[in-house]
């Protein structure tokens, strides 16, 4: 008896509460004189870095990092097309990764209220252990989903026996199978506006999605 080839995609998504939150912080000032602008930016960055290091020591933060100080100048134009006096800028961006999400919310609320500080976002994530466990389980379930889909197709055709011929990551079967688009980046939460407009933050970490996709080919008879 001839066999019918069935090609399917299996998929499975895990949705898990975030376990880590990385706060993206920008510190900067601008003004007509370069030295005061640089001094204020350096001083405030030192304060932020000191807090991050203390929280790392007590376990609330797993790590933090900072870019080099950036200093630049420009001559802005007014609405009448007249060039204005020179304006100096200085800025430092930092990342602070929290293991304690309650401390994250409290720190962001107090820090975002400081003049010269902008919380540009929060990147939610899982621990590596959780991510690896969920990835392996999602891949296993994606394969099971592919088997179930192939079996359903076979039954619709009046076929009963299904055997696997090939299984691969999307786009690797060597035919018209198309790769899936990359998984979206970890969710971001905009915090600065909420802090300044409401006087408080309602930081609710979004679930992190771990996805698995497989392409599989079966022979049904």
> What would the pLDDT profile of 141-152 be if each residue is shown by its tens digit?
999 999 999 999
pTM confidence score: 0.78
Position 182 confidence tier, pLDDT thresholds 50, 70, 90: very low
∠ CA 25-117-127, nearest 5°, is: 20
State the pLDDT at residue 201. 55
Q: How confident is the model at residue 206 (pLDDT cuts 50, 70, 90)?
A: confident
Whether residue 191 is predicted with pLDDT greater than 80 in this model: the reply is no
Cα distances (angstroms) measured from residue 58 to each of 51, 53, 98, 103, 147: 11, 9, 11, 11, 49
Residue range 34-80, pLDDT digits in tens: 999 999 999 999 999 999 999 999 999 999 999 999 999 998 888 88
Query: What is the predicted pLDDT for the residue at 82?
Result: 86
């Amino acid at each position: 008896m001839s066999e019918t080839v069935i090609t399917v995609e299996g998929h499975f998504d895990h949705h898990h509460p975030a376990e880590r939150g990385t706060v993206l912080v920008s510190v900067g000032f601008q003004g007509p004189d370069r030295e005061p602008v640089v001094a204020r930016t350096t001083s405030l960055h030192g304060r932020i870095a000191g807090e991050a290091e203390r929280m790392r020591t007590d376990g609330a933060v797993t790590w933090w990092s900072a870019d080099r100080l950036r200093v630049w100048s420009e001559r802005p134009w007014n609405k009448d097309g007249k060039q204005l006096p020179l304006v100096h800028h200085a800025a430092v961006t930092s990342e602070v990764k929290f293991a304690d999400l309650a401390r994250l919310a409290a720190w962001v609320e107090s820090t975002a209220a400081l003049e010269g500080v902008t919380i540009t976002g929060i990147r939610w994530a899982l621990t590596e252990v959780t991510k690896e466990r969920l990835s392996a389980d999602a891949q296993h379930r994606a394969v099971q989903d592919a088997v179930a889909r192939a079996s359903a197709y076979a039954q619709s055709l009046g076929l009963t026996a299904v055997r696997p011929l090939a299984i691969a990551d999307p786009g690797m079967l060597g035919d018209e199978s198309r790769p899936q688009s990359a998984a979206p980046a970890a969710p971001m939460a905009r915090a600065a506006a909420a802090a300044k407009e409401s006087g408080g933050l309602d930081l609710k970490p979004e679930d992190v999605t771990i996805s698995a996709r497989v392409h599989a080919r079966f022979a049904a008879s």
